[in-house]
Structure 1
Amino acid sequence: MERSASYFVQPLKLHNIGEVIMDADVLIIGGSFAGLSAAMQLVCGCRKVVMLETNKASHGFAQVSHGVLGLGGDTPQEIHTTALSQLNSYSSFQLVEDVADSVEVLEEGFAVISAQSDTTFMAKKLILATDIADRLPDIPGIKERWGRSVIFYPDSHGYELKGHPLGVLATSDLSFQQAVMIPEWGATTLFTQGQFRPEEEVLNHLLARGVRLEETPIAYLQGEGDSLGGVILDDGRKLTLEGLYVSPKAGLAQSFVSQLGLELEASFHGQVVKVNGFKETSVKGVFAAGDISNSVQDEALAIVSGAMAGVGAHRSLISKR
């Protein structure tokens, strides 16, 4: 039987500072793909869920989602709107447009203070599903094309560029792995920027895959609008390119990651929150999903990650651990 709207605890006034308390089984911070997916698992399990987001979530950098089963070609905003309308049909779900400012670990749960409304959100479990900040190389022309013709993950944004000249801009030794994948879609040049040199075994693998190495650094990108037509090298040469793959460094800007003392680990694009198979972090009762914990930024993987976090939080509530 579906629970009524009174399933939510009514707001209570604290006597000392006038804050408002909103109670839930699980508080989800972040309303992008991972957060929405986690919420769906929990409301289907008849759990009280409060999602805290600004309604300005970036939903990643792409204009259109590719490689997402049943959703290919939809914009991230369209997917967000559809998912939110489905969640709103459950009386145990509540969306609050606000920003988390600080978090406190309690004896039996967590208290999250908002930045805008001075509200205190109380929850037994916490799911972090926030976006990360992409730190791109400081090369003119990259930022304005990011998510269009300058992209990150070929499995999500490779098919649409197939048959065109492509490049990989090395930002670390891990970029060699990225370059090995790209020839599936088009002739590939790896730009080492004169800083990164693959070891012999890796080099042989790249060459066997048909990857061409260019050691002269890229000076800037050229093209009409957000399209890419080519790159200009430091020595003045122009190489024709229609797609450039870049691995940005991830920035975990949220202060509550450090407030909770969450353990981090290295990933392809920088540090992410370390989680177990059910997306629980090093702090019991705190789960992390999506880009904040995934080694690869991808819409489909974010959805799966969120679902696992929702299942993990639900299991944790049942076992009361």
Structure 2
Amino acid sequence: MDTGGGRAYDVAVVGGGAAGLAGALTLARARRTVAVLDAGSPRNAPAEHLHGYLGRDGAAPAELLATGRAEAAAYGAEIRSAAAGTVLAADRAAEGGFVLRCADGSSVRAGRLLLATGLADGLPDVPGLRERWGRDVLHCPYCHGWEVRDRPIAVLGGHPLAVHQAQVWRNWSDRVTLLAHTRRPGAQERELLAALAVSVVEGEVTGLTVGAGGLTGVALRGGRSVECRALVVAPRFSARAGVARSLGLPVTGVERDGVRIGTCLEADPATGATALRGVWAAGNVTSPTDQLAAAAAAGVRAAVAISAELIEETTRQALDVHRARQAPGAQ
């Protein structure tokens, strides 16, 4: 197995999204040797533009990541991508630190790990829905609400939080429809929707209708159709935690208003430290609902915590050497 020429990095960052690259940039500027292992499957790849990221609003997600890679590399971070950046598992090294095993057969050794592996969106099983995901099939109003403001918006029911989604999206349009789909709203929910002038349409959604300009509506069982220019869904957020599990770190459920919405890797919200010494985590793998800016900030916070620990380690080693030299009888 290729071990990268025997080189051991101070830190290996698993994941090349906003959290991972922000962490890598911070660590490289702190004069640490850093390897970024990027499998190349960012969560926001289907989206044409990113929003809410100060200074880069409207940029293409791929453009932001390319810029981030170039910035981190300019300070010495090594970027490994494709099979060389796809980490299959991680192990504790006998001499300390960690060994990451990659899909191309190579391995990477590092003293510390920053896991920024993100999450996968589990989407409702409706034909044609996944193909429109991130374009006009949406879930986050703060990411996409402005772009579909004042247009007819449908919220796909069948999920306990669908009524809440309709309530939130009503802020961006007065033409919001809740599609009951597989779960009819209760009396109190219907009262709330009526107060907000949100209409309820019964019937199971069987597909989407798409025109030259994008989504035009949804089809219901029985042949009826409902006009909409955006379809709001509730994905299930599943942490990409294969590397974490290989190290024995468990994932836990994430709830909102008593409803389980997915899984995450537990980490300290201030530092990103996990239950395993030497391993930190940041971004959507730990906080599924964070937007891009929050994920990047978490990567920076984790990087600062890692750097602080490395500085403390260097200081202890220097102090041990100093005391040995000052000991009676020392040469």
Fold in common (TM above 0.5):
yes
| C-alpha deviation, 1:119, in angstroms | 2.5
Tell me whether 155-164 or 59-68 shows the greater mean CA deviation: 59-68
1-side partners of 2:12 and 2:186: how far apart? 45
| C-alpha deviation, 1:282, in angstroms | 2.5
2-side partners of 1:295 and 1:206: how far apart? 27
Tell me whether 45-54 or 208-217 shows the greater mean CA deviation: 208-217
Structure 1: segments with no counterpart, 5+ residues: 1-16
Q: Which residue of 2 aligns with 1:191?
A: 179
Letter of the structure 1 residue corresponding to residue 73 of structure 2: N
1-side partners of 2:310 and 2:12: how far apart? 13
Deviations 1:145-199 (A, max 9, x none): 1111101211011001001011221353233332221011112122232326357
| CA 308–314 in structure 1, closer or farther in 2 if over 3 Å, else same | same
| C-alpha deviation, 1:210, in angstroms | 3.1
Letter of the structure 2 residue corresponding to residue 307 of structure 1: V
Computing the radius of gyration over CA atoms, which structure comes out larger, 1 or 2? 2
How many equivalent residue pairs? 302
Helix, strand or coil: the match of 2:211?
coil
Letter of the structure 2 residue corresponding to residue 185 of structure 1: W
The within-5 A match list for 1:112-151 is: 112-116=100-104, 118-151=105-138
| C-alpha deviation, 1:238, in angstroms | 1.5
The within-5 A match list for 1:279-294 is: 279-294=272-287
| C-alpha deviation, 1:280, in angstroms | 1.9
| CA 43–228 in structure 1, closer or farther in 2 if over 3 Å, else same | same
Structure 2 residue 79 is matched with structure 1 residue 95 = yes
2-side partners of 1:125 and 1:248: how far apart? 32
Helix, strand or coil: the match of 1:228?
strand
Q: Which residue of 1 aligns with 2:267?
A: 275
| CA 178–309 in structure 1, closer or farther in 2 if over 3 Å, else same | farther
Q: Which residue of 1 aligns with 2:16?
A: 31
The 8 Å contact of residues 148 and 226 in structure 1, kept in 2 or not, is answered as no
| CA 203–300 in structure 1, closer or farther in 2 if over 3 Å, else same | farther
| C-alpha deviation, 1:124, in angstroms | 1.8
The 8 Å contact of residues 237 and 288 in structure 2, kept in 1 or not, is answered as no
Structure 2 residue 288 is matched with structure 1 residue 300 = no
Tell me whether 214-223 or 141-150 shows the greater mean CA deviation: 214-223
Residue identity over aligned pairs, in percent, reads 29
TM-score (norm 1): 0.85
Let me know the Cα RMSD of the aligned residues.
2.4
Tell me whether 34-43 or 158-167 shows the greater mean CA deviation: 34-43
Q: 2:165 aligns with which of 178, 182, 185?
A: 178
2-side partners of 1:22 and 1:229: how far apart? 55
TM-score (norm 2): 0.83
Structure 2 residue 297 is matched with structure 1 residue 313 = no
The 8 Å contact of residues 264 and 287 in structure 2, kept in 1 or not, is answered as yes
Helix, strand or coil: the match of 1:28?
strand
Tell me whether 73-82 or 278-287 shows the greater mean CA deviation: 278-287
Structure 2: segments with no counterpart, 5+ residues: 317-331
1-side partners of 2:268 and 2:72: how far apart? 26
Helix, strand or coil: the match of 1:88?
helix
